[in-house]
Chain A
Amino acid sequence: QKEVEQNSGPLSVPEGAIASLNCTYSDRGSQSFFWYRQYSGKSPELIMFIYSNGDKEDGRFTAQLNKASQYVSLLIRDSQPSDSATYLCAVNGGSNYKLTFGKGTLLTVNP
């Protein structure tokens, strides 16, 4: 059973701080990794994806991948109240191409 684990939170950070969201996965053959943001009552939307070890930056967001440790993270710099949402880690690959989601981490950014 392929699993994706996330700390459910809630994670609370002050406005302007760095929010760090973490995810581990069980399938060592996983190929690609995604972060989706889901506002309350809304559908998930893709914000970052990463395929290779290391860091990938996009604006205030940085995704980090360490395949040896089976660990992927998302850093949000200069956090804003509008970043308050649940962040879902999703992993794909291995023996099939099914996308498996974690339970999500609820982030609250306090003004």
Chain B
Amino acid sequence: EAGVAQSPRYKIIEKRQSVAFWCNPISGHATLYWYQQILGQGPKLLIQFQNNGVVDDSQLPKDRFSAERLKGVDSTLKIQPAKLEDSAVYLCASSPTARGGGEKLFFGSGTQLSVL
């Protein structure tokens, strides 16, 4: 079974530039998550989708971050404009339950973003 696919693996940009990350979840997984993990911290949930609807985006900085999930499958996370404090690993995860949040999460390999 293919895992959660993410790209790119690494990205280096200058502050105020824009960047986009892509995620393809495990086939059939209804719930998709984007997490931000700053070095030395645990993952912080940015946004949770169930199929193509948003379940929770309370910690998403909406003035600069946006996310969408196309047709309930692939998802993109965008940052515009980027700030220095956005340097982190962006993890995409999916889970097989439509309820979401309480079941097993399968993580992708992440995108390491460096903002200079």
Contact = CB atoms under 8 A, between A and B. Distances in A.
Contacts of B35: 101
Classify chain A: how many residues form its interface, as a range.
Answer: 20 to 34
B40 A93 contact: no
A96 interface: yes
A44 B43 contact: yes
B85 to A, nearest CB: 17
Contacts, number: 52
Contacts of B106: 46
A49 interface: yes
A96 to B, nearest CB: 6
Contacts of A32: 102
Interface in A36-90: 42-46, 49, 88, 90
Given A97-B99, A98-B56, A44 B44 contact: no
Interface of A: 4, 8, 31-32, 42-46, 49, 88, 90, 92-93, 96-104
A34 B27 CA distance: 23
A42 B41 CA distance: 14
Nearest to B41: A103
Contact of A92 (B41, B91, B102): B102
B115 interface: no
